[in-house]
Amino acid sequence: MLMTDRERLAGEIKALAEKHGNCRTALIPIVQEIKQKYRKVDDFAMQVIADQLGIHPVEVYSVVSFYAFLGSAAHGKYIIRLCRTISCDMQGKERVMRQMENDLGIRFGETTADGKFSLEWANCMGMCDQGPAMLVNEKVYTHVTPEKVHEILEECRRSFGVHATEQKEVYLV
Amino acid sequence: MSPTPIQETGSRAPKSQQSLTIARSAGDEAIGGTVTASINGQEVKVPLGTTILAAAEKIGVRIPTLCHHPDLCVAGVCRVCVVEVEGQRTLQAACAFPITSPIKVLTHTRKVRQSRRHVIDLLLSEHYGECYACGRNNNCELQGLAKEYGVDFFRFGHPSKPKYEIDRSSYSVIRDNDKCVLCRRCVRTCIDLQEVGTIEVAGRSDKSYITTFKDKPLGDVVCINCGQCINRCPTGALRANDPTDEVWAAIDDPKKHVVIQTAPSPRAAIGECFGLEPGAPLTYELNTALRMCGFDRIFDTNFTADLTIIEEGTELILRLYKALVGKDANIALPQFTSCSPGWVKYLEHFYAEYIPNLSSAKSPQQMFGAVIKTYYAEKHGIDPKDIITVALMPCSAKKFECNRSEMDDSGYKDVDYGLTTRELAKMISEAGLELPKLPKSDFDAPFGTATGSGVIFGATGGVMEAALRTVIELVTGTKVESLFEKANIIPVRGFEGVKYVELPINEVGPVPDILKHLVPDWNWLKGATLKVAVAHGTANAKKVMEDIKAGGKFSECHFIEFMGCPGGCIGGGGQPIPTSPEIRSARAKAIYAEDAAYEVRKSHENPDVLTIYNEFLTDGPCGHKSHKLLHTHYVPRGKYIE
């Protein structure tokens, strides 16, 4: 059966609403899952969610725009969030930042052209004793140094590489 | 006395987060039913759970407020109403502090005064604009507070540049976020009171602002133009789209024949703009004022309200006839009224599948426009292209309605401009007239005579009452007065959210001449029970619509009156600011008093209406010509936007 992207998305949201409960308390878990899968929550998704939960689309927008992790423009495959608060700052977040910007060729708040990386600022993630701290999607890295940045980025890139090789192999077989 | 689990508070919060209210079934006199609070040393006994604000009001202590509104739930966000409560570490918001134990409150200590001044200074530091260039000058709550607390300089600065663009995309409502103080009254109005959900707060902290879905222009999102947000905005951040300059230009143009129709609700409320108490109708003074302003003809919208009743009533009878006698399953019942453009757009957005239920009759405003640019123009030999029709309405949605593309059946734009009560008051002041002191004068012929039925259109239940007066007489052949004292159909009156009335038809009379070509006799209605309902405010409309969808008792109704605004037109989005349940009920009283004073109180007895059917709409109600001019169609809009 042919299915448009929108129909598929609407179906997924419906399933999520059944999983989390068809009421407004289910809003955040649903938005989180959609954000995780599609890396963004678009206009259509917000309206379907609102419709499912019996609330208004603007209320979904209000919540999404409130939480940086739900609504930020960043939608790279890997969203890197570096802590900018005082203890991480004193432990050298500036150098880490520069290393990352150089390595990826983008500034903070931007996404690489290939859509693989986004750089964002974060405020305190409770790792003040182990700064500078950084989040790569949901994984926390502490005591980050410019050298480590390179490693971390390489690790991420490798995941794309492996993925690509796997596909290639499948193709060859 | 036992604590009940959770009572429906109507709050948007999920059940688990709603506050626990304690049922006081034993009454206020029981132990724990009331509590004594000391406010500035003065003792006051209030029911448990009363807010400090309400308790203070009871003993005449006024606490300033900004985000608080009698129609809306508590927000407690502006912090203007802070007071000192003994035993509390910090100052408390009086509007959000329920008294549950004997407390001591001080409402204007040095600490309180300084804090309030601080709050006001902070609000002003983000409030762009100069008061004299604002429509709310002298009627602005922020300005009032600044005056009250003696603000003589901007302690935290004052913005010199606007931060936002003014949103002029809507025909009805203009949003100017630079004047917004983030009190969220509009949000609570739109989401809680009206359940339309057009605006919410986006962003966080100092970057938060009021916006529409995805920051789209107001004209592009789901908005029913009811203007309730305008009525509740404390500042000038929301205002109606004001066409007074165009109207003045038309008046000043000697070639234009400017005709104005005035609706009953603005006439009952316009006095408030001139310092009168709510509930003082100035219908006839207003006629004089309009003549002095330069309008060429002044007509009464009630004339077309009566026409609406005839058309809509006939449509109902035809629907019932086809459904009951013709056994036609495709006939949509119950029939919904279509006079309220806010409600019509609400239905088009949220219940588009029920558009066939909506009466195809236009609203009185649009009928008037169509009749003036055809019948009136013909009769008086005026070229319709030189006629400018202006409508004085209590409504901001009427501005949208007159701009709907389907509203040009006369061959021209049927109604050129919709004016709100506030805008006309401004025009009258501009002309140097003091409205309450003007002599009285009557409407112009040929649409000058109206009936009491047209007048009560302004209050919730009014259209239903007017329709019932006519339908009962036409069908049973007996006078309404024999069923209801003085033809006052009390069960459909009042501010209850949803009203439901059953009327058994025991006797039927002969078919009156005006309907003879449509139905042979009334025998098919004998013994039937007419079921009708009335809902006002779209939140109540939603309840009725959900019930109909679920096949509940409202789905068995025959006729339902819906009004987009709480209280009906008297609480419309174009009415004087402020609004409250008391003000609306005073306006309604004025309207019912005006109805009682009319000699002719039933639409089908209006002589001018009978004349128009004899002279112009010769094929009768719901005939070919009336269909062309007085009926319309609707657009399914849906709630999804691109």
| Distance between CA atoms of residues A110 and A72, nearest Å | 11
What's the rounded mean pLDDT across residues B562-585? 95
Q: Please tell me which residue of chain A has the smallest CA distance to B15.
A: A25
CB within 8 Å of B405: residues ≥ 6 apart: none
- The tokens describing A151, both together, are 């490693």
Strand partners, B300: B262
Question: CATH 3.40.950.10: which residues of chain B?
Answer: 315-361+453-641
Residues of B noted as catalytic: 312, 315, 339, 359, 398, 401, 406, 569
Enumerate residues 166 to 205 of chain B having a beta carbon within 8 A of any beta carbon in chain A.
191, 196-204
* b/e code B527-543 from CB counts within 10 Å (16+ = b): ebebbbbbbbbbbbbbb
- The tokens describing B468, both together, are 């019932």
Band of residue B23 on the pLDDT scale cut at 50, 70, 90 = low
Residue B145 has pLDDT above 90, yes or no: yes
Residue B369 has pLDDT above 80, yes or no: yes
CB within 8 Å of B611: residues ≥ 6 apart: B446
Question: CATH 3.40.50.1780: which residues of chain B?
Answer: 244-303+365-437
Residue B353 has pLDDT above 90, yes or no: yes
Instruction: Give me the interface pTM, i.e. the ipTM.
Output: 0.90
CB contact under 8 A, A24 and B198: no
Residue B394 has pLDDT above 90, yes or no: yes
Q: Are B532 and B464 in contact (CB under 8 A)?
A: yes
Band of residue B445 on the pLDDT scale cut at 50, 70, 90 = confident
pLDDT at res. B421: 96
Residue A172 has pLDDT above 80, yes or no: no
CB contact under 8 A, B203 and A65: yes
Nearest Cα neighbor of A57 from A88, A13, A122 is: A13
Nearest Cα neighbor of B379 from B71, B184, B616, B111 is: B616
pLDDT at res. A173: 36
- In angstroms, the Cα distances linking B347 to B286, B562, B631 are 34, 10, 17
Interface test with B, best of A9, A46, A48, A58 (most B CBs within 10 A): A58
CB contact under 8 A, B640 and A65: no
Q: What is the DSSP string of B185-239?
A: HHHHIIIIIS-----EEES-GGG-EEE-GGG--GGGSS-----HHHHH-SSSSEE
SS3 labels along B78-134:
CCCCEEEECCCCCCEEHHHCECCCCCEEECCCHHHHHHHHHHHHHHHCCCCCCHHHC
CATH number (2.40.10.480, 3.40.950.10, 3.40.50.300, 3.10.310.10) of B315-361+453-641 reads: 3.40.950.10
What's the rounded mean pLDDT across residues B354-382? 94
- The tokens describing B623, both together, are 């005939």
Q: Which fold has domain B15-108?
A: Ubiquitin-like (UB roll) (3.10.20)
pLDDT at res. B477: 87
A78-83 sheet: strands from edge to edge: A117-122, A78-83, A134-136, A139-141
Q: Please tell me which residue of chain B has the smallest CA distance to A42.
A: B214
DSSP one-letter code for B357: G
Q: How many cross-chain Cβ pairs, A to B, lie less than 8 Å apart?
A: 54
pLDDT at res. B108: 92
Specify the residue for token string 């109604």: B415
Residues B508, B512, B514, B515, CA torsion sign = positive
What's the rounded mean pLDDT across residues B595-608? 89
- The answer, for A102 touching chain B at a CB cutoff of 8 Å, is no
Nearest Cα neighbor of B32 from B44, B20, B47 is: B47
CB within 8 Å of B565: residues ≥ 6 apart: B226, B227, B228, B340, B342, B395, B536, B537, B571, B572, B573
Residue B2 has pLDDT above 80, yes or no: no
Nearest Cα neighbor of B320 from B515, B465, B601 is: B515
Give phi and psi for A158, each to the nearest 5. -60, -40
Specify the residue for token string 């492996």: A162
- The tokens describing B311, both together, are 């058309």
| Distance between CA atoms of residues B572 and B263, nearest Å | 12
Residue B18 has pLDDT above 70, yes or no: no
| Distance between CA atoms of residues B119 and B65, nearest Å | 12
Q: Of A82-86, A158-162, B494-498, which range is least confident?
A: A158-162
Give phi and psi for B104, each to the nearest 5. -115, 125
Q: Are A136 and A100 in contact (CB under 8 A)?
A: no
CATH class (in words) of the domain with range B119-240: alpha beta
Residue B372 has pLDDT above 60, yes or no: yes
Question: CATH 3.30.70.20: which residues of chain B?
Answer: 119-240
What's the rounded mean pLDDT across residues B495-512? 91
What number of other Cβ atoms are within 10 A of residue B18's Cβ?
Answer: 15
Express each pLDDT in B270-320 by its tens digit.
999 999 999 999 999 999 999 999 999 999 999 999 999 999 999 999 999
> What CATH architecture is B244-303+365-437?
3-Layer(aba) Sandwich (3.40)
Interface test with B, best of A62, A63, A66 (most B CBs within 10 A): A62
DSSP one-letter code for B373: I
| Distance between CA atoms of residues B600 and B480, nearest Å | 13
Question: CATH 3.10.20.740: which residues of chain B?
Answer: 15-108
Interface test with A, best of B229, B640, B641, B642 (most A CBs within 10 A): B640
Express each pLDDT in A45-96 by its tens digit.
999 999 999 999 999 999 999 998 887 666 788 899 999 999 999 999 999 9
- The tokens describing B420, both together, are 């709100």
Band of residue B191 on the pLDDT scale cut at 50, 70, 90 = very high
User: Who has greater pLDDT, B367 or A160?
Assistant: B367
Is the backbone peptide bond immediately before B446 cis, with ω within 30 degrees of 0?
yes
- The answer, for A57 touching chain B at a CB cutoff of 8 Å, is yes
- What is chain B's mean pLDDT, rounded? 91
Q: Of B29-33, B41-45, B242-246, which range is least confident?
A: B29-33
Residue B507 has pLDDT above 90, yes or no: no
Q: Using N-to-C axis directions, what is the helix angle for A93-104 and A146-172, rounded to 10°? A: 30
- The tokens describing B35, both together, are 């509590």
Which residues of B are less than 8 Å from A54 in CB distance? none
Which residues of B are less than 8 Å from A62 in CB distance? 200-202
Residue B604 has pLDDT above 80, yes or no: yes
CB within 8 Å of B632: residues ≥ 6 apart: B360, B361, B362, B366, B406, B407, B409
- What is chain A's mean pLDDT, rounded? 87
Distance from CA of A133 to the nearest CA of B (A): 24
- Greatest Cα-to-Cα distance within chain B, rounded to the nearest angstrom: 80
User: Who has greater pLDDT, B329 or B388?
Assistant: B388
Q: Of B18-27, B461-470, B554-563, which range is least confident?
A: B18-27
pLDDT at res. B26: 55
Residue B24 has pLDDT above 90, yes or no: no
